[in-house]
Amino acid sequence: MSSFSRCAACKYLRRKCPQDCILAPYFPSSNPQRFVCVHKIFGASNVTKMLQQVPGHLRAEAAECISYEAIARVQDPVYGCVGIITQLQQQISQIHSEIMKTKGEMIAHHCAHSQHHPPPQPQGDPSWSISLHQQQQDYSQSDEHLLRKY
Amino acid sequence: MRMKQAMKGHEPRSSSSCAACKLLKRKCTSNCIFAPYFRSDEPKKFAKVHKVFGASNVSKILVEVPEEQREDTVNSLAYEAEARLRDPVYGCIGAIALLQRKMVELQHDLAIARARLARYAVPAVSSSSPSVLMDENVGMVSFDDMPCCSGVNESFGQSSSELTQIQPMNDFGQFPYVF
Residue B58 has pLDDT above 90, yes or no: yes
pLDDT given for residue B159 in this prediction: 33
Cα angle A75, B67, B51; round to 5: 65
CA-derived radius of gyration, chain A: 30
CB contact under 8 A, A110 and B120: yes
Report yes or no for ipTM above 0.85: no
Q: How does pLDDT run across B109-161, given as a tens digit for each residue?
A: 999 999 988 887 655 454 544 444 444 444 444 444 444 444 444 444 433 33
The answer to whether A99 and B138 have CB atoms below 8 angstroms apart is: no
B101 to chain A, any CB pair closer than 8 A? The answer is no
Tell me the per-residue pLDDT of A78-129, one tens digit each, with 9 for 90 and over: 999 999 999 999 999 999 999 999 999 888 887 877 777 666 666 655 554 4
Instruction: Give me the residues of A, 105-144, that contact B with CB < 8 A.
Output: 105-106, 109-110, 112-113, 139, 142-143
Q: How far is CA A16 from CA A6, A121, B30, B49, B79, in A?
A: 7, 88, 42, 30, 35
- B61 in contact with A at a CB cutoff of 8 Å? yes
Please name the residues in contact with B175: beta carbons below 8 A apart, sequence gap of 6 or more: A85, A86, A89, B79
From the list A16, A42, A38, A14, the residue with the least C-alpha distance to A26 is A38
